[in-house]
Amino acid sequence: MLSGMIEELPWESLLSVARAFGSDHVSLFGSVLRKPLAEVADVDLHLVVPRLDPPAFAALAAAAEATAKGLAVRAGRPWRVELRHGPFKPPPGEPRELQLHLLLDDHASLGRSSCALLAQRSATGRLLAGEPLLGRRADCGSPATWLREACVELARWRDALAARQIPFRHWVFEPGPDLVEGRTAAATDWEQECLLRGAATSADLHYHAAVLAVQPAAEPAEDLARPLRSRLRSGSWDRMRDQAIAVLERRLDHLSRL
């Protein structure tokens, strides 16, 4: 159930800017829907416009800064804005920063979002304005699409873990607007934790969604079905990284035989 505090948060300024650029979807997702603002590290907001050009990006980023400041004042905490699509969270500290994680899509980039991700956001998100994400891609009716996308996503995180790099997507505007892939080194203990958490979250979502899409009545092997983080024995980060890579390899092998 939503906290009453969520209903009172200052969204209108950002929503007004979103409407000015023709936004047809704004939603909240993640821990802010389950916990009071004082207990969350970041507020995840997904916003879609028909076409994201430099003026729209600048205006929405500025509106996000103002909204983040308003959220932080209510929470009595410092604030930050994150515009990259990736598993970035503010590091622990006292007081811990409150992050507004604004995920910007346009219709072209949204069409490249995985079916599993669109379905999850539709099922668990809180719609603030516009239309739901479900149904945006006609090919999500094909099990082959879910299987292909799961293989791509698991391989993406396997390779990122091996390289000790956090994969993310970010906007560039030359020669034209595009949401492109990037990586940044996971140099600190906290960044390594974000990398491992991001890999586990995405791998669990895409693996289970693909198995369910291809074999609705089947149960995956118990050892592959367990959440990835629960399979990692305590130890050094390198050891847990290697264990995670091994699980991803086994899941990819399983998917290749479906």
Phi-psi region of 219 (alpha: psi -120 to 50; beta: other; left: phi over 0): beta
**Look-up of token digits 């909240």:** 28
Host H or E run for residue 47: strand 42-49
Domain 4-130: give its CATH architecture: 2-Layer Sandwich (3.30)
Q: What is the pLDDT, as a whole number, of residue 10? A: 82
CA dist 195 and 108 (Å) reads 27
CA dist 76 and 95 (Å) reads 9
Determine contact, residues 197/87, Cβ cutoff 8 Å. Answer: yes
Q: What is the pLDDT, as a whole number, of residue 34? A: 87
How many residues does the structure list for the chain?
A: 258
CA dist 156 and 254 (Å) reads 16
The tens digit of pLDDT for each residue in 109-125 reads 999 999 999 999 999 99
Contacts of 111-115 with C-beta under 8 Å, sequence gap 24+, read: 111/136, 111/137, 112/179, 113/137, 114/149, 114/150, 114/153, 114/206, 115/139, 115/140, 115/145, 115/146, 115/149, 115/209
**Look-up of token digits 């979103």:** 18
* Domain locations along the chain: 4-130, 142-256
The tens digit of pLDDT for each residue in 5-47 reads 565 678 999 999 999 999 999 999 999 898 888 888 999 999 9
Q: What is the pLDDT, as a whole number, of residue 4? A: 42
Residue 157, C-beta contacts closer than 8 angstroms, at least 6 positions apart: 167, 198, 199, 202, 203, 248
Please give the C-alpha separations between residue 213 and each of 137, 142, 203, in angstroms, as whole numbers: 15, 8, 15
Kindly list the averaged pLDDT for each block of 10 residues, start to end, along the chain of length 258. Answer: 54 95 96 87 96 98 95 88 97 90 97 96 93 90 97 98 98 96 97 96 96 82 82 86 96 94
Q: What is the pLDDT, as a whole number, of residue 186? A: 98
Q: What is the pLDDT, as a whole number, of residue 6? A: 61
